[in-house]
Amino acid sequence: MKMKWAVLTVILSIVAVLTGCEPLTIFDPKGPQAERQANDILLSIGIMSVVVIVVFAILIYVLVKFRASKQSDDYEPPHMEGNPWVEAICVGIPVIIVAYLSFVSVQSNYIVESAPKGYEEQEPLVVYASSSNWKWHFSYPEENIETVNYLYIPTDRALEFKLYSYGPITSFWIPQLGGQKYAMADMITTLHLAADESGEFMGRNANFSGKGFAENTFNVTAMSQKDFDEWVDEVKETADPLTEETFNKLLKPGHLGQMTFTGTHLEFAPPPEHDHGSSHTEPTEETDTHDGHEH
């Protein structure tokens, strides 16, 4: 009876924990990079599940077939030599599985590090994404605008993020668009993404960076190119210009809401010179300023 209640308690505890978990957004991809990675994860889970099922089936068979039996005290089991087929299977199958998963992983790595599939001939939207304790700054050099803690992107267009940090190492991650990548202080890393569908997604820092790490998140809104262009025009007409003094205040540790500016910090606080994985040149800045607001 005690064992029955113990098993029931464990099952109820597992159910209670799982019901409190957030949905696995990585299995709801909204872009080609995320879809590739989700397929790789499902493939790995499938192969591991087959291995676990087969191993448990063999274990049950062995326990039943070779269980203790009522033999005489002088019974001596027959001597058995090693079976080459069994040994070949036990060694060969794991080697094949590891080799196959290695091939898939390397192939996928090259794919996600390149321009998204279907967008290779398209000029990407370049966004400089820099982090500070504990916020994200998004600079659009071509549009000459900058946002804090939120990101607007067009759908059906290649995206090229230039990642770096004004503090500790962070990790830029939008689960529904692709995998995470580190943002560091001394170099720029490049992340290629694309959004196939409009919608709102969650982005965050996936690398622990101090007491404010849990709230180091940002909102991502994907929209049509037309809506994106209209948003850019609205920002240029209404947002305040970003000054060096304002930017230095933003870099101080703490949490902020969403903010919008014309101009970017790239002119007076340029990113690191070493650019890892990029074929683009330095950003350009427009010189005109506009009146505006922050929200």
Which domain does 206 fall in, by range? 125-276
Q: Report if residue 191 sits inside a domain.
A: yes
Instruction: Give Cβ neighbours of residue 216 (< 8 Å, ≥ 6 apart).
Output: 131, 134, 135, 136, 170, 204, 205, 209
In a domain, 181, yes or no: yes
Is residue 141 in some structural domain? yes
Judge whether 28 lies within some domain.
no
- Model pLDDT for residues 106-123, shown as the tens digit of each residue: 999 999 999 998 898 899
Query: Can you give the pLDDT at residue 48?
Result: 95
20 CB burial (10 A radius; 0-12, 13-18, 19+) = exposed
pLDDT at 290: 37
Specify if 73 maps to a domain.
no
What CATH number did the domain enclosing 133 receive? 2.60.40.420
Number of structural domains found in the chain: 1
215-261 pLDDT per residue, tens: 999 999 999 999 999 999 999 999 999 999 999 999 999 999 999 99
d(CA 102, CA 113): 16
Listed in order, strand segments (DSSP E) in the chain are: 125-132, 135-140, 145-148, 150-154, 158-165, 170-173, 181-183, 188-194, 199-205, 217-223, 240-241, 259-262, 275-276
The answer as to whether 220 is a domain residue is yes
Give SS3 for 180.
coil
CB count within 10 Å of CB 261 equals 27
Give the sign of the dihedral formed by CA 203, CA 20, CA 198, CA 119: positive
List 259's β-bridge partners, or say none.
148
3 state DSSP class of 275 = strand
Length of the chain equals 295
Q: Which residues of the chain have pLDDT under 70?
A: 1-8, 10-11, 14-23, 276-295
Task: Give the residue from 138, 165, 128 showing the smallest Cα distance to 231.
Answer: 138
> Does the residue 86 lie in any domain?
no
Please tell me the predicted confidence (pLDDT) of residue 286: 41
Query: In this structure, is the dihedral angle defined by the CA atoms of residues 145, 146, 150 and 153, taken in order, positive or negative?
Result: positive
CA distance 227 to 140: 16
Cα distance between residue 253 and residue 147, in whole Å = 17
C-alpha–C-alpha distance, residues 290 and 47, integer Å: 57
Whether residue 95 is contained in a domain is answered as no
Are 128 and 138 in contact by the 8 Å Cβ rule? The answer is yes
Query: Which tokens hold the place of 222?
Result: 């994907």
